[in-house]
Amino acid sequence: GAGVSQSPSNKVTEKGKDVELRCDPISGHTALYWYRQSLGQGLEFLIYFQGNSAPDKSGLPSDRFSAERTGGSVSTLTIQRTQQEDSAVYLCASSLARRSEQFFGPGTRLTVL
């Protein structure tokens, strides 16, 4: 079956602009996760959804970052007023249930000029 898909695969934006990144999880997976991977910091957890609710937002680095999930499926990560330090690969993962194996998408590479 289809894996986790993310779009766009690459995004170049100017400092100060808003961006939206999309994640389509594996069908039937109730848990969804966003991570960020950068050269200096490695792979960092951002937020976790169970269904449409987000019981763990502890990894969001600032209030410029937000995410939503609708219909228990697609999720969007929004970064407002982007900064150069937001440049990274943003990875999405889904799992059948909380604490089951996570399956990762290929990521969106975000470059803020």
72 in contact with other proteins (CB under 8 A): no
Instruction: Kindly provide the b/e burial profile for residues 55-78, where b requires at least 16 CB atoms within 10 angstroms of the residue's own CB.
Output: eeeeebeeeebebebeebbebebe
Q: Which stretch binds other proteins (CB under 8 A): 11-19, 43-51, 65-73, 74-82?
A: 43-51
| The only residue of 7, 11, 20, 45 in contact with other proteins, by rule CB under 8 A | 45
Q: Which stretch binds other proteins (CB under 8 A): 11-19, 38-46, 70-78, 79-87?
A: 38-46
Which range binds other proteins by CB under 8 A, 14-22, 42-50, 69-77, 80-88?
A: 42-50
Give yes or no for residue 55 binding other proteins (CB under 8 A).
yes
CA distance 50 to 52: 6
Question: Which residues are at the interface with other proteins (CB under 8 A)?
Answer: 4, 31, 33, 35, 42-45, 47-48, 50, 55-56, 58-59, 91, 93, 98-99, 101-107
